Amino acid sequence: MSKPFDLVVHGATGFTGRLVVEYLLRRYPAGSGVRWAMGGRNADKLAAVRDEVGAPTDTPLIVTDTTNPASLQALMDQTRLVLTTVGPYQLYGNELVAACASYGVDYVDLCGEPAWMRHMIDAHHAAAQASGARIVFSCGFDSIPFDLGVFKLQNDMRQRFGHPASRVRGRVRKMKGTFSGGTAASLKATMAAAATDPGVLDLLRNPFSLTPGFEGPRQPPGHKPMVDEVLGLWVAPFIMAAINTRNVHRSNFLLNHAYGTDFVYDEMLVTGAGDKGEAIANAVAADKSLGSDDGPKPGEGPSRAERDAGFYDVLFVGTDAQGQQLRVGVTGDRDPGYGSTSKMIAEAAVCLLQDATATLGGIWTPAAAMGEPLMARLQANAGLTFTAEAN
């Protein structure tokens, strides 16, 4: 049965949801072949945001109260895919994931909550396989640039040397911009859950928490400043590594260990050379502001000028057992937490609907579900680059 919408933006009245709507207006206006609607809990707020962003007055608005069974059922009946920016997902995502898995509706989010993701995999992966729902977590800065960066590097390694890299280093070379209030809220919710449930803490500590039944080799801890042996520069712990590394290992798992069962991966932030690099690395390691009460709040975010001035640049270095090495750089042209993330999740949704038609039902990662087509879309439309670099 045909549905009226290809995708509904759930959370369109929130800060990031509004940015997604603005992007869809520019890239996929009426007549573009993507039928989308704005969704949220309050019809008046939806209408106000529609007018504020300059959307046509006939832009479809849907009340999407996922705590109301009738509203949730209506959402499932009306759309092929739900794009949700409403986090923390462990607080607001349970019913929505369960419904999508049951009714065969595709789903993309911005989740950076690995313990909750594992609970969803355990609870709903089989149902999604049966219904045909493609559920893809982490379609923002966590974890698309990292997930696809490793994916490209390993493809390049196989083409060049005939096998993947057994060791990959993800190194954030430059980044300007803020993490989102949703990221901060998710971190706080995760820490609160861990304080009451020891099982959550176990999942957070395990690099293979998203690969049920598979435990790979020991991974670098990544929690202390050090001099990177390949770059010869100081590196510091990277706050997003706790989610990105789990997603990269899940991609390997879902791709039938295309990166190898001995695959080792870590992420660090490059702080520079010498005493200055060491001092910055130590300061980064000591910074706990993201999880503090002074951190960004959900619904808040940087100005358009600040978003447009942001960027990021990540290097991936792959090495095989013979010491052969390849490098891939990934860049984004907006601040990571908002400007780039809103474009990435929108393109992931469209890619899942239009390009990844052969992907079967289940709970996926961006690289395993969409791979090359998503890279192509992000480079063509969303300001990302994926580039092989000289050693």
Q: What is the pLDDT of residue 235?
A: 97
Question: Does residue 307 belong to any structural domain of this protein?
Answer: yes
Question: Does residue 199 belong to any structural domain of this protein?
Answer: yes
Domain encompassing residue 308: 144-335+385-389
Number of domains composing the chain? 1
Q: Report the SS3 class of residue 318.
A: strand
Helix (H) or strand (E) holding 258: none
CA-CA-CA-CA torsion sign (359, 101, 138, 342): positive
Residue ranges of the chain with pLDDT lower than 50? Answer: none
Q: What is the pLDDT of residue 199?
A: 77
Question: Does residue 371 belong to any structural domain of this protein?
Answer: no
Helical spans, DSSP H, in 232-273: 241-254
Rounded CA separation 197/178 (Å) = 30
Question: Does residue 136 belong to any structural domain of this protein?
Answer: no
Q: What is the pLDDT of residue 128?
A: 98
Token pair in block for residue 278: 């060491």
Q: What is the pLDDT of residue 86?
A: 94
pLDDT digits (tens, 9 = 90+) for 327-357: 999 999 999 989 999 999 999 999 999 999 9
Q: What is the pLDDT of residue 1?
A: 62
Residue listed under structure tokens 């395993």: 368
Q: What is the pLDDT of residue 296?
A: 62
Question: Does residue 3 belong to any structural domain of this protein?
Answer: no
Question: Does residue 57 belong to any structural domain of this protein?
Answer: no
Residues near 271 by Cβ (< 8 Å), separated by ≥ 6?
225, 233, 234, 235, 236, 277, 278, 280, 281, 284
Q: What is the pLDDT of residue 189?
A: 76
Q: What is the pLDDT of residue 82?
A: 98
Rounded CA separation 48/41 (Å) = 13
| pTM greater than 0.75 (yes/no) | yes
Q: What is the pLDDT of residue 277?
A: 97
Question: How many other C-beta atoms lie within 10 A of the C-beta of residue 280?
Answer: 17
Beta strands in 35-78 (DSSP E): 36-40, 61-63
Question: Does residue 169 belong to any structural domain of this protein?
Answer: yes
Question: Does residue 363 belong to any structural domain of this protein?
Answer: no
Question: In whole numbers, what is the pLDDT of the chain averaged over residues?
Answer: 93
Q: What is the pLDDT of residue 301?
A: 78
